[in-house]
Chain A
Amino acid sequence: MKKNSVTLVCVFSFLLASVASLAQNADEIISNYFKTIGGAEKFEKLTGTKMEMSVNYQGMEIPVEMVQLKGGKMYLKINFQGQEITQMAFDGTTAWSTNFMTMKAEKMESEMVENIKQEANDYPDVLLNYKAKGYTADYLGKETKEGTECYKVKITKKPQTVDGEKVDNVVFYYFDTENNVPILTETEIKQGPMKGQMSTTTMSDYQEVDGLYFPFTMNQMGQAMVVKKVTLNPTVDPSAFSFKE
């Protein structure tokens, strides 16, 4: 009898556990995530990050520097053969890139700029204070990604404009159920020859920088980017963001 009651307790706790896991909601998952990576308050205090990275193409490593500031200013510079080429930059009003034929700066199309502006507050993390940004988060259940059990959360951002039409702006996050951090995101490709297919990014090698955790390896559809160094609250020459005629 005693044995039976023990088993019964086990069963109940098992059932309770499964009920609890069903009751997972997006808010809890996201708040656990921020707890895991150092706390939302610390991320709120960030004024900017500089990431020195390397794009690795089957062993060929190309240095990339990405700076993002609170409020949306950003640039992405590639270093090719000692030359720094700004692949993309945004100074708060103008977004621009470098034409590889002329090596001169060119302004990005206004639709794209509007889309970038709209997400200016995504720094330092899309998920930070997502409700205040007008985003919604829905928990869609568990799914196995990267061989690992994950919570799937759908983040709906403000619609973007593509070719004159408003289109949905959704990111699916997969949080490793054991580690509480996202290990994969998916977004639908909205234009170009791969339109309609999913763009997948994986995140791994989460490492600590002054009490905050960042994924040090990201892989977007087979293209790996490895972070070499993260500088928090960097000092940056403001002219690096602005368009040069």
Chain B
Amino acid sequence: MKNYNKLLVALSFIFAFQVQAQEEIILKGKELFGDIKARQIGPAIMSGRISDIANHPTNNKIIYIGAAGGGVWKSSDGGASFSPIFDKHIQSIGCVTIDPNNPDNTIWVGTGEPWTRNSVSIGDGIYKSTDGGLNWTNMGLPKSDRITSIIVDPRNSDVVWAGVLGALWGDSEDRGIYKTTDGGKTWNKSFYVDQKTGCADLVIDPVNPDIMYASFWEFRRTAWSFNSGGYNSALYKTIDGGKTWNKIHNGFPKGQLGRIAIGVAPSKPEVLYAVLETEQDKDKGLYRSEDSGASWKHLNSDFELVVRPFYFSRITIDPRNPDILYKGGLRGSISRDGGKTFKPLGNMHADIHDVTVDLHDSNRIYVATDGGLYRSWDSGNTLDIVKNLPLSQYYHLSLDDEEPYNIYGGLQDNGSWYGPSKSDGGIEARDWHVVGYGDGFRVLKHPTKKIIYSEMQGAENIWRYNLETKELKTIQPLAVKGDPKLRFNWNTPIVTGIHNPDRIYAGSQFVHVSDYMGQTWRKISGDLTTNDPTKTNTEKSGGLSVDNSGAENHCTIFTIAESPLNKDVIWAGTDDGNVQITRDSGKTWSNVTANIKGLPKNTWCYHIEASVFNEGTAYAVFDGHSKNDYTAYVYKTSDFGKTWTSITTPEIGSFARNIQEDYKNPNLLFLGTEIGLYITVDGGKNWSKFENNMPAVAVHYLDLHPKTNDLVMATHGRGIIIIDDISTLRQITPEILKKEVHFFDRKPFVIEEESSFGGTASELEFVGPNPNTSGQIIYYLKKRNTFGKMDLEIQDTNGNKIVTLPAGNQKGINIVSWNYNTRNPKIATAKTLSFGGFTSPRVPEGTYKAVLTKGKEVYTHEFKVVNDPKSVITPSERKLQAEAAKMLFDKNEELAYFVYELDELIALNKKIIEKDPKTAKANNKIDAEFNALKNTMVVTTGDMYVGAAEPQLREKLSTIYASVAQQFDAPSPSQKDNIENVMDLYSKATTSLNALKGKYKTKLIDQGTKLGIPFQLKSFDEFLKD
């Protein structure tokens, strides 16, 4: 019976496959996107939240970090720099554990950040690498959500314990301590408390591996509240390798407990430290045990020890001294007297989540913060940030229309910033500017003026900042007479007007509008939320430790969208699940939520995208994760919200937050989800995950630049990520995918006139790459070219070859770059190299052809090249430049040929002298004459650096050639004078050469012939080809 079922499944699979195959070609992203690659531009200047650090137990050059939303990174240089090693997998990390038995190879990662703030991401299980992080395998625990700790038995690498904190937003049976005895193939739940209480920490005794300590925590979040604490929170100990667990509370207060941090002194394992969250303030803080947990003594309730236990429950004890300990906190703190007193750590970003101490040197520590990883060489007095960790956690972004355009956005605990999409030498720390404090969210450029709006949490401030006058004003809507308390979301929506550039919208429970850049506001709606009083009482939020940061403000408007086609059509979506629309600028609103079939009630409306194609069309994205629902909900309406269609498929692997519609092709849509970017080219019938240089990171917001067609993503853990010019994707149709080769149409390529100067960053600093400014020839191959020759040539319209380019061979989209250069000149051989020989003239603007030859098949595609429209250089100046460059190019090649001829004669003469020593006397004179001339034509001594010889004709000619060929405008009078001078030398040299040839060439050839020495000179054309 069982087998029969399997058969049915197999059958249905096959039939489904056949049906699909008939109707359409379905490509997965990896078979389609090819060379279309994302560009990660950081920034790393503010970096982002790091949840865990793991130092190698025997090699202090190796360090791993787990980021809250940015994956796992490895340093092999003692923390000087890091590389990402976990990009294919979910990016929210709980812990990294190195197998003590095989520390170079076996690494475990528990996913899902354990510091459960409102914006925390989710995990999808436990991963293992057996090659030092090159490859990872998911080893199970798929519903664990957050893994706080992993312990590998120091006696046996196959025995591993995992502490699972579990779901934050709902009940779960997947909590507790799990154990494997087969290296992770199978797991058993070895200790479980209940559906609400998970394992917050698990540590092992450094001497006796049968002893472990585990803290369990009862906790829960909703969208409007947080609760830490309960009667089931407890600290447990096992002395039999996890078979039995007993509470060790002797000395702890009675009643409810919250999150408990636990640490064992590595140098004296009977000394334990615990930090408790308790009912009474006087009982909170640090406890110490000197008898392996049999009894506890309360030592300290300092602010840094009790602050926000859900965020800062980590104790680190010095590996050599049991009385030195670090505690995570707002600033982090250190005690040198066994916990009696503490002092704060030095200046660094606030919010300390983890501290580790170097293997050999207790002064050297590493600190994980909300703003990156810090290193200290004096146990935390002075700290230095790691500058190549682009872990920035954006909530939102917007773009302007400058060239290059700028990207504006706000970040978790890292303020608001803007920076360019392109900069000389790459996008570096120096390119980013601060325009807001606190937690940053929406940052908007005024559409026409040099004004930026930015916002900090819950609209505590909305700033209007004039970049020219430096005027800075706070302009958030304020309550007026008769208003109830205004409820602003932590991530308050603000939107600039499309139809009136001075207009700005802001959302509380009302839609507020200002037509005067925030100077005055009016409400254009009533309360658009459910206004549920049970969800608006944030003062009591937090549980045992009140946590009223404003992050739980609920029943608020979260998204506002003005129709690009009709200024009177405005959409609003609320965090408690309402979708409302007005078609008369806010006079009347309709709640269309009930029309959305299949959407669970009160699911957070995260984004509404008003279509550019039709004023009744909009997309709405709903995120249910704060109700413990990880389904992607994306709906489309074409009738102002009367009816809605779901456009998701099971291909979308997690919940979604944002959608971006293309401006040209209504079927091309981009979806930002918790685990990365998905793209559809058929209006949502099929979705493909985009993974080319795109980590599986939470994408919180997307925007498409109308001029460049760049898709720009605000990721919550890997900064800004751009896919340059997505216009190729607009053209994809089933017909194209059936063709062997298809060239995509391209906008004319612009020969950009740009600086070649680099940036200022050191090799330890992150630098975001610039967009490729070469001409990009883009084609689709139905099948990879593995066997047989394939060539790509650029030709002019008459079919003359300009250059051969290395063809892309992969299945899917290939991009081949061409920097508009033609062939470089053949340069005279000398003692050293000449820079001019590596300089190619550019083609003039015009029409060219890409010709792809595969076997007998030839595929041709025409494209246009144009000059930089920003340039002030006139066509006649360009013509003069091209003519001068061509003339000098030709002279370089002619000189090369003359030198070749001369060298051949010198060689012939040498052979004659060798063969017939009688000729020596006369022929040595000839040799001297030849070489005297050669010495004026090319350098024959010296090196490429400070031993360089005095430049000769070749060097002078190639230098002026290179500068003329590289510039865009006509040769200057000074350059013309120089050309005249060089050409004078040139004609003198050729005259001398001709004179010498006249004198000796025939004579030498005759001498050679008599001696049986053949002399065959290549023609000029042969010489060039060779």
Contacts and interface: CB of A to CB of B under 8 A. Distances in A.
Interface centre among A7, A102, A147, by most B CB within 10 Å?
A147
A60 B833 CA distance: 16
Interface string B934-964: 0000000001110100000000000000000
A198 B28 CA distance: 24
A239 interface: no
Interface string A200-236: 0010111100000100110100001010000000000
B756 interface: no
Contacts of A8: 7
Interface string A151-191: 00010000000000000101010001001010100001000
Contacts of B120: none
A197 B83 contact: yes
Contacts of B31: 144, 147-148
B14 A81 contact: no
A103 B83 contact: no
A39 to B, nearest CB: 16
A59 B829 contact: no
Contacts of B32: 147
A84 to B, nearest CB: 10
A110 interface: no
Interface string B156-183: 0000000000000000000000000000
A102 B830 CA distance: 14
B381 interface: no
B788 interface: yes
Given A58-B805, A195-B77, A204-B786, A81 B83 contact: no
Contact of A60 (B781, B786, B817, B840): B840
Contacts of A140: 135
B992 interface: no
B821 A59 contact: yes
B786 A168 contact: no
Residue picked from B806, B817, B828, most chain A C-beta under 10 Å: B806
Nearest to A144: B30
Interface stretch (A9-17, A66-74, A112-120, A125-133): A9-17
Interface stretch (B187-195, B427-435, B807-815): B807-815
B851 interface: no
Contacts of B826: 81
Contact of B806 (A14, A83, A196, A226): A226
A100 B944 contact: yes
Contacts, number: 148
A206 B787 contact: yes
Given A81-B829, A148-B811, A188 B786 contact: no
Contacts of B809: 146, 202, 204-205, 217
A204 B14 contact: no
A148 B830 contact: no
Contacts of A188: 134
Interface string B760-800: 00010000000000100000010011111110001000000
Contacts of B812: 147
A101 interface: yes
B85 interface: yes
Interface string A46-60: 000000000010111
B83 to A, nearest CB: 4
A11 B811 contact: no
Nearest to B830: A81
The residue among B786, B812, B826 with the most chain A CB atoms within 10 A of its own CB is: B786
B227 interface: no
A8 B6 CA distance: 12
B786 A170 contact: no
Contacts of B807: 217
Interface of A: 7-8, 10-11, 14-15, 56, 58-61, 80-83, 100-103, 140, 144, 146-148, 154, 168, 170, 172, 176, 179, 181, 183, 188, 193, 195-198, 202, 204-207, 213, 216-217, 219, 224, 226
5 contacts: A83-B830, A100-B944, A103-B831, A103-B944, A154-B131
Given A81-B827, A83-B833, 19 more contacts: A15-B10, A58-B803, A59-B794, A59-B802, A60-B823, A60-B840, A81-B826, A83-B830, A101-B944, A103-B943, A140-B135, A147-B34, A147-B810, A147-B812, A172-B134, A195-B76, A197-B83, A206-B787, A226-B806
Closest 9 CB pairs of A and B: A147-B811, A224-B806, A59-B803, A82-B829, A196-B83, A146-B810, A147-B812, A204-B809, A101-B945
